[in-house]
Amino acid sequence: MAQQVALVTGASSGIGAQTARALHDAGFVVYGAARRVERMNELARTGVRTLSMDVTDEASLRGGVDRVLAESGRIDVLVNNAGYGSYGAVEDVPLAEARAQFDVNVFGAAALIRLVLPGMRERRSGTIVNISSMGGRIYTPMGAWYHATKYALEALSDSLRLEVAPFGIRVVIIEPGAIRTEWGQIAADNLRSVSGDGAYHDVAERTATMLAGSSRPDASMVSDPSVIARTVVRAAKARRPRTRYAVGAGAKPLILTRKVLPDRVFDRLITRVVASRG
Ligand SMILES: NC(=O)c1ccc[n+]([C@@H]2O[C@H](COP(=O)([O-])OP(=O)(O)OC[C@H]3O[C@@H](n4cnc5c(N)ncnc54)[C@H](OP(=O)(O)O)[C@@H]3O)[C@@H](O)[C@H]2O)c1
């Protein structure tokens, strides 16, 4: 059987870098895509093929997909992983930034899905893996726009799964918990710059401390990105993958807690968790 071909976005860091490497180790031909191509030099040395791609730029997405198809003839697995956390109070976050958050976390993924589906439908096979978050099932203060994008990605994935199943195409949602990557520090920096000084200062600072903590090398109660990478490989190789994989620190218990608790009780729980930080 021909080697399976995978395209992974956000491969210059964290979960994407580890996923690209793990898929390569599992025998896939892997293309890793990101804006910072130089950050993927080490991956390239291991045999991962690297692509310059900005998921908010349709021409760059089309160029990347065309290159994979020209070189390898097909895309069997698409891993939509590129993303960041735009944190800040709803009152403070400029709508242009909220739109930018949706452009990367939702429309970037959707644009790539649209580009790979014709080939997958033709071959009547393929797997689309969308990296959501436990934040696609639960919510925190200061995270409204990030959660909005991940809730949206979950809904998009659920509808898509029904649409493409008749063509033999699988759609998988991954819901990472707290993972030790640059994500937490980037989200904390965004939060402090947007809400650090105003009416929401206290909760913003506590939330930022919590977010930044997950990026520290000595952070406890966070998981290594390899946990997510292994899950993606398992899903990509499965004949009948699960629809959702909640993995990494906190993901399963928090999602379950949200499921069973009434809104007000969950509100109090999250408020208490944030208040205990900082
Ligand atoms: N870390 C966590 O605790 C956690 C938890 C749940 C879910 N997640 C999700 O996991 C995914 C990966 O995050 P991570 O933790 O690995 O964070 P990370 O280390 O900050 O990596 C984010 C990746 O996304 C890429 N990216 C951002 N904007 C992009 C754009 N416009 N075009 C192309 N690539 C872009 C970055 O590459 P360039 O900047 O080089 O383009 C980078 O490779 C995200 O979707 C995140 O929301 C993370």
Asked whether the predicted pLDDT for residue 2 surpasses 90, the reply is no
Q: In what helix (H) or strand (E) does residue 259 lie, and over which residues does it extend?
A: helix 251-260
Q: In what helix (H) or strand (E) does residue 186 lie, and over which residues does it extend?
A: helix 183-195
Output DSSP code: residue 128.
E
> Position of tokens 């990030």?
146
> Which of 46, 57, 59 lies closest to 11 in space, CA to CA?
46
What pLDDT is attached to residue 74?
Answer: 98
Give the number of other Cβ atoms within 10 Å of residue 164's Cβ: 18
Sheet holding 77-80, edge to edge: 49-52, 29-34, 5-9, 77-80, 126-131, 169-176, 244-247
Q: How far apart are CA 95 and CA 102, in angstroms?
A: 11
Q: How far apart are CA 45 and CA 48, in angstroms?
A: 7
Query: Does the C-beta of 179 come closer than 6 Å to ligand 1?
Result: yes
Query: Does the C-beta of 274 come closer than 6 Å to ligand 1?
Result: no
187-200 pLDDT per residue, tens: 999 999 999 999 99
195-221 pLDDT per residue, tens: 999 999 999 999 999 999 999 999 889
> Which of 106, 12, 115 lies closest to 68 in space, CA to CA?
115
Q: What is the mean pLDDT of the chain?
A: 97
Asked whether the predicted pLDDT for residue 1 surpasses 80, the reply is no
Asked whether the predicted pLDDT for residue 278 surpasses 70, the reply is no
Percent of the chain with pLDDT over 90: 97
Distance of CA 229 from the midpoint of ligand 1 (Å): 13
Percent of the chain with pLDDT over 70: 99
What ranges in 95-175 are assigned the alpha helix state H? 95-102, 108-123, 144-164
Among protein residues, the one with the nearest Cα to ligand 1's atom 2 is: 179
What pLDDT is attached to residue 65?
Answer: 98
Q: How far apart are CA 260 and CA 245, in angstroms?
A: 18
96-146 pLDDT per residue, tens: 999 999 999 999 999 999 999 999 999 999 999 999 999 999 999 999 999
Known catalytic residue: 245? Answer: no
What pLDDT is attached to residue 205?
Answer: 97
What pLDDT is attached to residue 128?
Answer: 99
